[in-house]
């Protein structure tokens, strides 16, 4: 699978219209704290996302936590490694030259550790998104954000 097929923007999640609408709606909440996922029915999905975040994967045999918990603040390919709180999605990434979803970014990271990325909308990506948002609880929403 080539790089273009991982993040080619052909998914409806990556459609220009949906990203624009999501950025517009997110902008309405800019500065507000990210709320806690208080519905107890979400607990197993947050736990599954955490397990995915902490589990090693790919040819590099690396977990998300190894970068975003153990090495945040350090540089990787000239960029500072964040702690993995998705406060600004959808974001404008300089390397994309446009808006992109959190799922697009997650797929890029998974590809980066040489694992097979999940399809857009896959339950695993949704669970990972939910866990990451739980990590960002209380942080201000900064949608739409700009990142390198």
> Can you give the pLDDT at residue 10?
56
* pLDDT of 87 above 90: yes
- Say if residue 120's pLDDT is above 60: yes
Residue from 92, 122, 96, 118 nearest 107 by CA: 118
pLDDT at residue 78, as a whole number: 82
Over residues 94-119, the mean pLDDT reads: 95
Residue 111 region, left (φ>0) first, then alpha (ψ -120 to 50), else beta?
alpha
The tens digit of pLDDT for each residue in 6-15 reads 445 457 889 9
Q: What percent of the chain has pLDDT over 70?
A: 93
> How far is the C-alpha of 46 from the C-alpha of 60, rounded, in Å?
25
Residue 113 confidence (pLDDT) above 70: yes
Among all chains, which residue has been given the structure tokens 């975003």? 68
> Residue 104: its pLDDT value, please?
96
109 is catalytic: yes
Burial 107-119 (b: 16+ CB within 10 A, else e): bbbbbbbebebbe
Of the residues 7, 64, 67, 109, only one is catalytic, namely: 109
Confidence of residue 3 (pLDDT cuts 50, 70, 90): very low
Q: Which domains does the chain have, with CATH numbers?
A: 18-33+40-147 (1.10.760.10)
- The count of other CB atoms within 10 Å of the CB of residue 93 is 18
| Confidence at residue 6, expressed as pLDDT on a 0 to 100 scale | 46
């Amino acid at each position: 699978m080539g790089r273009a097929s991982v993040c080619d923007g052909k998914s409806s999640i990556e459609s220009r219209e949906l990203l624009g609408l999501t950025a517009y709606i997110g902008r309405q909440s800019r500065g507000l704290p990210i709320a806690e996922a208080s519905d107890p029915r979400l607990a197993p999905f947050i736990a599954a996302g955490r397990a995915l975040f902490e589990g090693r994967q790919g040819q590099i045999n690396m977990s998300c936590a190894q970068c975003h918990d153990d090495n945040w603040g350090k540089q990787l390919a000239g960029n500072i490694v964040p702690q993995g709180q998705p406060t600004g999605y959808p974001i404008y990434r300089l390397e994309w030259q446009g808006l992109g979803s959190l799922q697009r970014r997650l797929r890029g990271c998974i590809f980066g550790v040489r694992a097979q990325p999940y399809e857009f909308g896959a339950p695993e990506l949704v669970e990972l998104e939910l866990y990451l948002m739980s990590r960002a609880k209380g942080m201000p929403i900064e949608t739409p954000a700009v990142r390198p």
